Amino acid sequence: MTVHDTARVVAQRIQNTEINPYEMMLQQLDMVHEYTNIPEGIWRILRTPERALEVNVPVVRDDGSIDVFTGYRVQHSSARGPCKGGIRFHPGVTVDEVKALAGWMAWKCAVVNIPYGGGKGGICCDPTSFTPGELERLTRSYASMIYPLIGAKRDIPAPDVNTNAQVMNWIVDTAQVLSGESTPGIVTGKSIEMGGAHGRHEATGRGVMFATLGVLQRLGIEIEGARIAVQGFGNVGSIAARLLHEHGASIIGISDVSGAYHCPVGFDLARVLSYVETSPGRLLAGLQHPGVEEITNDELLAMDVDVLIPAALEAQITASNASNIRARVIVEGANGPTTPEADLILGEKGSVIVPDILANAGGVVCSYFEWVQNIQCFPWEEKETNQRLGQILQRSLREVWSMAEERGISLRLAAFILGVERVATAIQLRGVFP
């Protein structure tokens, strides 16, 4: 069975059903199976998370009332090292979403060959409904509930959707109170003053920039004047847009949860970023910019551009809109933005997709740097961090690209094969306990 045949089978399974991110991750994993010699027993281990913890998170509101929220922490694999993965606060968080993200983290860390496994966490909540004090109590309550699972040598959380350095600072402090020990390495993405790494804030967006430059170079497309659309103008999307703009690209489409905008001559990124800094919720809503028209999210995804960067949430490019995608190159800044069925459609159209487990790995690579610095008690300069980040991502793209060319397969399939085989090898070398 060819990869297209397998993808068609996968597509049939999810057709006319709600997209489940965990099923989507497993379906992507199944597409790798026939391209490897991994034993069936090891394969069953790869498909199943090691641990999935569900916790109730009580929060005392400012008015004295108590609300209870559901939180999760999933560890997919620790075969290659401590589990690693962010924590998100979002009303759409489910256990299947967190399980999917933990699996993707396992393959991601293996693709870029850093000594981590995959984990993820989240709370099903609307963080915009919390006061600063309530958000702190939510974070500390959640941290105390997952504390038995996390640690600098066990599982290391980081920021994700709607969480930031301050949230990580609260987790570090909570862990220190519970343990009585200094524990800076228990999370990454902290404030610099708390042991955070210079360059960590920009790392995921910078990684998307490295991936974009690398693939354009291989395709013979000049970055100067390249037309780019970015879906999701949060931390990852906005930083990637700014850095690519600095390299000469023309950012002609941007969007976030509040709306989408098109500027045919290219946005003044400094002006847009300045607006977002002070806008309510740091959103694009109400953006005033010469030559800009407001469009729909579907119109943004279908723009005639050289590069499309989906940097929002999962399952944004699906069977229902993939045929409308006109971008020659798609660089996945978000986790799981393209469904397997959409992948098939885009592949048949000749689109080049740099998959999420490679394109957005800059954050976890820099988290690894932060963790190393915490263990050594020896901080690096930002220049060193950025140089090392570029070296790792360029090497990883080179390895994935070479495998894709040699075997005549997509970059996604090559990245998955590379990552999954590395995790499988670690499991086999360890042996199955007991």
Q: How far apart are CA 67 and CA 64, in angstroms?
A: 10
Please give the structure tokens belonging to residue 174. Answer: 């909570």
| Residue 13 confidence (pLDDT) above 70 | no
The answer to whether 69 and 123 are in contact (CB under 8 A) is yes
Nearest to 332 by CA among 406, 415, 263, 404: 415
**What is the per-residue pLDDT for 2?**
40
**What is the per-residue pLDDT for 5?**
42
| Residue 11 confidence (pLDDT) above 60 | no
| Residue 49 confidence (pLDDT) above 60 | yes
Model pLDDT for residues 196-213, shown as the tens digit of each residue: 999 988 999 999 999 999
Q: What is the mean pLDDT of residues 47-74?
A: 97
Q: Higher model confidence: residue 165 or residue 17?
A: 165
**What is the per-residue pLDDT for 117?**
97
- φ/ψ of residue 262, rounded to 5: -125, 130
Q: How far apart are CA 245 and CA 224, in angstroms?
A: 9
The answer to whether 128 and 91 are in contact (CB under 8 A) is no
Helices (H), ranges, 128-229? 132-146, 165-179, 200-219
Fold of the CATH domain 201-359: Rossmann fold (3.40.50)
Q: What is the mean pLDDT of residues 258-281?
A: 92
Please give the structure tokens belonging to residue 124. Answer: 């099903």
In order of 51, 254, 257, 305, 412, the CA distances from 325 in angstroms are 38, 15, 20, 9, 18
| Residue 341 confidence (pLDDT) above 60 | yes
**What is the per-residue pLDDT for 256?**
92
Nearest to 26 by CA among 35, 39, 14: 14
Task: Determine the straight-line distance between the first and last CA of the chain, rounded to whole angstroms.
Answer: 36
Cis peptide before 91 (omega within 30 of 0): no
Using DSSP's 3-state secondary structure scheme, residue 223 falls into: coil
**What is the per-residue pLDDT for 288?**
87
Q: Per the residue annotation, which of 99, 120, 190, 383 is the catalytic one?
A: 120
> Would residue 120 show up in a list of annotated catalytic residues for this protein?
yes
| Residue 239 confidence (pLDDT) above 60 | yes
Domain segments of the chain as ranges: 49-181, 201-359
Q: Is the dihedral of CA 417, 420, 425, 426 positive or negative?
A: positive
Using DSSP's 3-state secondary structure scheme, residue 60 falls into: strand
Model pLDDT for residues 343-384, shown as the tens digit of each residue: 999 999 999 999 999 999 999 999 999 999 999 999 999 999
The answer to whether 55 and 127 are in contact (CB under 8 A) is no
Edge-to-edge strand list for the sheet holding 329-331: 293-295, 259-262, 250-256, 227-231, 307-310, 329-331, 352-354
Secondary structure of 100-146 in HEC code, one letter for each residue: HHHHHHHHHHHHCCCCCEEEEEEEECCHHHCCHHHHHHHHHHHHHHH
| Residue 3 confidence (pLDDT) above 60 | no
Q: How confident is the model at residue 300 (pLDDT cuts 50, 70, 90)?
A: very high
Q: How confident is the model at residue 34 (pLDDT cuts 50, 70, 90)?
A: confident
Secondary structure of 254-285 in HEC code, one letter for each residue: EEECCEEEECCCCCCHHHHHHHHHHCHHHCCC
Nearest to 124 by CA among 84, 86, 85, 97: 97
**What is the per-residue pLDDT for 17?**
46
**What is the per-residue pLDDT for 368?**
97
Q: How confident is the model at residue 103 (pLDDT cuts 50, 70, 90)?
A: very high
Superfamily of domain 49-181: Leucine Dehydrogenase, chain A, domain 1 (3.40.50.10860)
Strand partners, 261: 254, 294
**What is the per-residue pLDDT for 28?**
85
Q: What is the mean pLDDT of residues 225-245?
A: 95
Topology alike, domains 49-181 and 201-359:
yes
